Structure 1
Amino acid sequence: MPSVRRISHEFLDRQGLTTVFGNPGSNELPFLAELPESFRYVLGLHEGAVVGMADGYAQATGRPVLVNLHAASGSGNAMGALTNAVASRTPLVVVAGQQVRPAIGPEANLASVDAPALMKPLVGWAAEPACAQDVPRALAQALFEAELQRRPTYLSVPYDDWAAEAGDNSLPILDRRVIRASAPGAAQADWLVGQVTGARRPLLVIGGDIDTAGLFDDAVELAERLDCPVWAAPSQFRLPFPNRHPLFRGVLPAGIAPVTEAFEGHDLVLVLGAPVFRYHEYLPGPYLPQGTRLIQVTDDASAAARAPMGEALVAHPGAVIDLLVQALDRPDRPAAPYRGDPEPLTAEGPALHPEQVFAALRDEMPRDTAYVVESTSTNAAWWRQMDLRRSGSYYFPAAGGLGFGLPGAVGVALGQPDRPVVGVIGDGSANYGITALWTAAQQRLPVTIVLLRNGTYGALRWFGGLLGVPDAPGLDIPGLDFTRIAEGYGVAAQHVTGTDELRAALAERPAHPRLIQVDTALTTPS
């Protein structure tokens, strides 16, 4: 009779979960024993970086990913990074080690007391099997729940379970599949088409789920047929529409009042693939202008249920886009040209303005470059200078928790080895996931990290002004040299001081990871 470990490895292999991101502890070693040759183990030096890499990898590949964490301590280290994976709806399957069963009740060292409760309500599903023979079934449920909910799941497994006999009833697990279809019914389709075609001044708001689902080009076709303004939903973690397209108005501000202001004059707001809405700054006001109707289309039932206004259709946005495109006529005139490149702003003194850095990236990097961005104080400069026209061009920490950017760039590079990947990372956020540089070096990834160094937490300074607390301590971080840090992890690094030097560095195409540090002037997110 095969062991629980063997059945579990076989199930994971058949499901394609053969890349494992982890940082092992003693409780995890029995699971990792006899790992098949088809598996690849990607070691991270901190659990936060492990989850950030897995998050980037899963988003880049569009597939669930296995994460292997230590018991309570390792899982706790990962929870900050998991907040981003939850907000981006990334299907991570987290399997954590647990003490042997006889040692859990007495709370022996490294026992995780009530392990599923530790991760709730963050993950979409969490469990610890009641017996060893239930481990393969529970592992399958962890995967299927992650796929169906598009949310991380968590399975705690006592380490003596892996060597136990699986039992005859574990074998059917190997051939299981769970398939979801969510097209609107005929009555729902007729209602939605009638609402959209009957609107006098419709407006589209599209979310990161559109890019996640590979609907980037489909969204462009729908917008052009509607010939209406397009906004990206607030707190955007993926770019679902070309940002220089003539219909694109930008990313909605993350406050109630300014969102309402953007909707003025429109009788219908159609939201595709986004919650309604992920606000940030508390700027109160009415949710919608007088006379404006909102319809949300999402396959996230929880997002539909918790929305404070509007009507919701729980369906796959791709099916709805197809439905609307078929119901709408092609435009009777050619689309307007994309907007051109503005002249970047400059800064006084030796530091570069972030716009100069982003203009250099736009001009020197290939057009299909994927950017993983974690420099929150430079958002306005980023969107003014960049020209992104392809799916999967932009990744951002979805929950706003720092530490995703650098590991996320490593994960995206692992998931899309044939695509250029650049991490645009602020000096404040870099420290949260800095150990990912070691993984990039060990994996010999041709990823470029552009490190923007301004010596402060720029976004917090902006928030200090917004909240009326300009004298808060702990906002400056002088004395950091990331070139020396990177070299210590085995990554080639250089400090550039001017635009010509920066452009020359970006024009190179090294086969291994590199870090380019550039001093930048302090700017605000908007």
Structure 2
Amino acid sequence: MATVAEVTYRILRARGLTTIFGNPGSNELPFLAHMPEDFTYVLGLHEGAVVSMADGFALATGGPAFVNLHAASGSGNAMGGLTNAVYSHSPLVLTAGQQVRSTIGQEVMLANVDATALPQPLVKWSSEPACAADVPRTIDQAVHTALLPARGPVYVSVPYDDWAADADPDSELLPGRTVRGGASLSQEQVTELVALLDRAQNPLLVLGPQVDAAGANADAVRLAEALRAPVWIAPSAPRCPFPTRHPAFRGVLPAAVREVSTAFEGHDLVLVVGAPVFRYHQYLPGRYLPEGTRLVQITEDPKEAARAPFGDAVVAPVGPALAALADGVSVAARPPLPALPPFPAPRTSPHSVHPDELFALLREHAPDDALYVVESTSTAASFWSQMDLREPGSYLFPASGGLGFGLPAAVGAQLGRPDRQVVGVIGDGSANYGITALWTAARHRIPVVILVLKNGTYGALRWFGEVLGTGETPGMDVPGIDFTALARGYGVPARSVSDGAAFVLALKDALSADGPSLIEVVTADLDEEGGPR
């Protein structure tokens, strides 16, 4: 008779989950001891990096990712990375080892007391099977739950003595099951939305990460061109759903009520597709909408639809919805949108590489279909002004704003998409949160290129200090860190550059390497102590 572990691995294989991201503890060893040879274990040195690597892998491949954590302590370490996976709708299947069933109530060492409550309310679903025989079915339920709309992470705690138990013979039926989502827009809804768009005098589109996740970027372009409508990306964008050099593109909406409302001035209809309404950040209160503006939202997430404070909402898969609307609307009589002006001349710095210059050089010398994983918030304006993102799946950003996603996610994304070059654009403040992922990249010879933008400070916090009027506060600077030495210590070749020509040479070498590379790019003039001047 097959064991619980053997049947579980058959289920994982049937679901394509043969890559396991983890950092093991004693509770996890009985599960890992049974790992088949066709599975790959990707070891991370900290659970936060493990979850972010899996997150990047899932976002880049469009499929699920399997994570194996250590009891309560490992799950706790993973929480920061988990917040990003929640808001990016990443289908992560998180498992954690649990103590032997008969000892949990005694709260022995490494018992995960009330295990299902630990990851809540972040995960879609959390479970600890009631008996060993129910473990395979619970794991199967977890995979399907993570993948059904709206996608998101799930969590299963498994007592480690369950793995050697005999499986229920009927559990052999599980690998052959299929579960699919449905419920697209009805024809009545399509007709109503098409009529609404056709009647609009000056419509505007706001696109979100679900568009890019669905690969519906081309249909978004078709709809924008038919309507001759400008396109914004929703605030706090974790993905790029629209080509950034298209005449309709207007940029990323600011993350404040007053500024979003200002951007909507003069538009009678705003159609939001694949995004919440809205993920604001800085508190600048005002009216949600200008007078005379109507907003309609199409989202795959019923929670996003329910919690929006204004507008009408339709819950449906955004890919088919965009295709149906693009097919149905009439070509507008409005004049064509003007072409975008040339890229602005990049600013330069005398003793460093200005972010404008860095991204202009990256645009010129990196592959056109490169996938950028960005966690450098203070350089966002420079990035969006200088980059030319054309392909779906070209941009990933921490969806919850929690640091530590970028560097490990770049490693995971490159592992998942070996056909595309992944470039991590990571601030020096952010890099420290996930630096251990460099070891994993070196261990598996993952050819990711990591750029650490070194300005010696938390630049985004300094900007927020100006917004909030807090002035100079403690903990703003991170001077004196040698990222080249750190990278080499983990086995990753690295060099530091402080001018554009040196950066181009370093980038060309990194792109031709057969393993990971790190380039420390000095992006601000630093004093002798390593801090910003």
After TM superposition, the score normalised by the length of structure 1 is 0.97
Partner residue in 1 for 2:519: 516
Q: Is residue 322 of structure 2 the alignment partner of residue 321 of structure 1?
A: yes
Asked if structure 2 preserves the Cα contact closer than 8 Å seen for 1:98 and 1:110, the reply is: yes
CA-CA distance at 1:468 after TM superposition: 1.4
Counterpart-to-counterpart distance in 1, 2:186 and 2:464: 46
Counterpart-to-counterpart distance in 1, 2:54 and 2:185: 32
The number of residue pairs the alignment matches comes to 521
Asked if structure 1 preserves the Cα contact closer than 8 Å seen for 2:184 and 2:316, the reply is: yes
Asked if structure 1 preserves the Cα contact closer than 8 Å seen for 2:71 and 2:98, the reply is: yes
Partner residue in 2 for 1:433: 434
Partner residue in 1 for 2:45: 45
CA-CA distance at 1:330 after TM superposition: 5.2
What is the DSSP-based 3-state SS (H/G/I as helix, E as strand, rest coil) of the residue aligned with 2:162?
coil
Matches within 5 A, 1:281-296: 281-296=282-297
Matches within 5 A, 1:264-413: 264-329=265-330, 337=339, 339-347=341-349, 349-413=350-414
Counterpart-to-counterpart distance in 1, 2:290 and 2:300: 26
1:75-123 Cα offsets, whole Å, 9 max, x none, are 0000000000001000000011000001100000000000010000011
What is the DSSP-based 3-state SS (H/G/I as helix, E as strand, rest coil) of the residue aligned with 1:130?
coil
Counterpart-to-counterpart distance in 1, 2:359 and 2:319: 32
What is the DSSP-based 3-state SS (H/G/I as helix, E as strand, rest coil) of the residue aligned with 1:487?
helix
Asked if structure 2 preserves the Cα contact closer than 8 Å seen for 1:222 and 1:324, the reply is: yes
Asked if structure 1 preserves the Cα contact closer than 8 Å seen for 2:268 and 2:294, the reply is: yes
Matches within 5 A, 1:216-255: 216-255=217-256
Partner residue in 1 for 2:61: 61
Counterpart-to-counterpart distance in 1, 2:102 and 2:197: 61
Counterpart-to-counterpart distance in 1, 2:230 and 2:331: 17
Aligned residue type for 1:264 = E
Aligned residue type for 1:110 = L
Counterpart-to-counterpart distance in 2, 1:339 and 1:398: 30
Aligned residue type for 1:27 = N
RMSD across aligned positions (CA): 1.3
What is the DSSP-based 3-state SS (H/G/I as helix, E as strand, rest coil) of the residue aligned with 2:118?
helix
1:211-257 Cα offsets, whole Å, 9 max, x none, are 11111122111111111010000000000011121111100000001
Asked if structure 2 preserves the Cα contact closer than 8 Å seen for 1:244 and 1:339, the reply is: no
Q: Is residue 472 of structure 2 the alignment partner of residue 471 of structure 1?
A: yes
CA-CA distance at 1:335 after TM superposition: 7.7
CA-CA distance at 1:124 after TM superposition: 0.6
1:374-404 Cα offsets, whole Å, 9 max, x none, are 0010111111111111111111011000000
Aligned residue type for 2:128 = E
Counterpart-to-counterpart distance in 1, 2:477 and 2:411: 27
Counterpart-to-counterpart distance in 1, 2:222 and 2:327: 11
What is the DSSP-based 3-state SS (H/G/I as helix, E as strand, rest coil) of the residue aligned with 2:251?
strand
What is the DSSP-based 3-state SS (H/G/I as helix, E as strand, rest coil) of the residue aligned with 1:119?
coil
Aligned residue type for 2:223 = L
Asked if structure 1 preserves the Cα contact closer than 8 Å seen for 2:229 and 2:337, the reply is: no
Aligned residue type for 1:131 = C
Asked if structure 2 preserves the Cα contact closer than 8 Å seen for 1:71 and 1:97, the reply is: yes
Aligned residue type for 1:465 = E
Partner residue in 2 for 1:112: 112
Aligned residue type for 1:384 = S
Partner residue in 1 for 2:457: 456
Name segments (4+ residues, structure 1) moved above 3 Å. 329-339
CA-CA distance at 1:169 after TM superposition: 2.8
Q: Is residue 75 of structure 2 the alignment partner of residue 75 of structure 1?
A: yes
Asked if structure 1 preserves the Cα contact closer than 8 Å seen for 2:220 and 2:326, the reply is: no
Counterpart-to-counterpart distance in 2, 1:9 and 1:445: 25
Counterpart-to-counterpart distance in 2, 1:485 and 1:177: 46
- Structure 2 unaligned runs (5+)? 526-533
1:421-463 Cα offsets, whole Å, 9 max, x none, are 1101110000000000001101111111111100010101111
Partner residue in 1 for 2:492: 491
Partner residue in 2 for 1:16: 16
CA-CA distance at 1:183 after TM superposition: 1.2
Counterpart-to-counterpart distance in 2, 1:78 and 1:14: 26
CA-CA distance at 1:198 after TM superposition: 1.1
Counterpart-to-counterpart distance in 2, 1:48 and 1:270: 36
Farther off after superposition, 138-147 or 322-331: 322-331
Asked if structure 2 preserves the Cα contact closer than 8 Å seen for 1:204 and 1:228, the reply is: yes
Q: Is residue 141 of structure 2 the alignment partner of residue 141 of structure 1?
A: yes
Farther off after superposition, 214-223 or 231-240: 214-223
Counterpart-to-counterpart distance in 2, 1:195 and 1:331: 13
CA-CA distance at 1:182 after TM superposition: 2.4
What is the DSSP-based 3-state SS (H/G/I as helix, E as strand, rest coil) of the residue aligned with 1:475?
coil
After TM superposition, the score normalised by the length of structure 2 is 0.96
1:292-334 Cα offsets, whole Å, 9 max, x none, are 1100001111100111000001111112111111112457998
CA-CA distance at 1:351 after TM superposition: 1.8
Asked if structure 2 preserves the Cα contact closer than 8 Å seen for 1:245 and 1:339, the reply is: no
What is the DSSP-based 3-state SS (H/G/I as helix, E as strand, rest coil) of the residue aligned with 2:68?
strand
Asked if structure 1 preserves the Cα contact closer than 8 Å seen for 2:498 and 2:523, the reply is: no
Counterpart-to-counterpart distance in 2, 1:497 and 1:17: 42
CA-CA distance at 1:71 after TM superposition: 0.4
Matches within 5 A, 1:173-188: 173-188=174-189
Partner residue in 2 for 1:417: 418
Counterpart-to-counterpart distance in 2, 1:460 and 1:167: 55
Farther off after superposition, 319-328 or 489-498: 319-328
Percent of paired sites with the same residue? 59
Counterpart-to-counterpart distance in 2, 1:337 and 1:499: 29
Counterpart-to-counterpart distance in 2, 1:336 and 1:7: 59
Asked if structure 1 preserves the Cα contact closer than 8 Å seen for 2:208 and 2:233, the reply is: yes
What is the DSSP-based 3-state SS (H/G/I as helix, E as strand, rest coil) of the residue aligned with 1:287?
coil
Farther off after superposition, 358-367 or 513-522: 513-522
Counterpart-to-counterpart distance in 1, 2:340 and 2:513: 31
Counterpart-to-counterpart distance in 1, 2:17 and 2:336: 45
Asked if structure 1 preserves the Cα contact closer than 8 Å seen for 2:228 and 2:336, the reply is: no
What is the DSSP-based 3-state SS (H/G/I as helix, E as strand, rest coil) of the residue aligned with 1:160?
helix
Q: 1:109 to 1:382 in 2, by over 3 A?
A: same
Asked if structure 2 preserves the Cα contact closer than 8 Å seen for 1:144 and 1:178, the reply is: yes
Aligned residue type for 1:518 = V
Counterpart-to-counterpart distance in 1, 2:212 and 2:268: 26
CA-CA distance at 1:521 after TM superposition: 2.3
Q: 1:243 to 1:165 in 2, by over 3 A?
A: same
Asked if structure 2 preserves the Cα contact closer than 8 Å seen for 1:457 and 1:477, the reply is: yes
Asked if structure 1 preserves the Cα contact closer than 8 Å seen for 2:248 and 2:337, the reply is: no
1:118-143 Cα offsets, whole Å, 9 max, x none, are 00001110010110011111111111
Q: 1:163 to 1:339 in 2, by over 3 A?
A: farther
- Structure 1 unaligned runs (5+)? none
Counterpart-to-counterpart distance in 1, 2:188 and 2:392: 32
Q: 1:334 to 1:269 in 2, by over 3 A?
A: closer
Counterpart-to-counterpart distance in 2, 1:324 and 1:339: 29
Counterpart-to-counterpart distance in 2, 1:345 and 1:162: 59
Asked if structure 2 preserves the Cα contact closer than 8 Å seen for 1:298 and 1:316, the reply is: yes
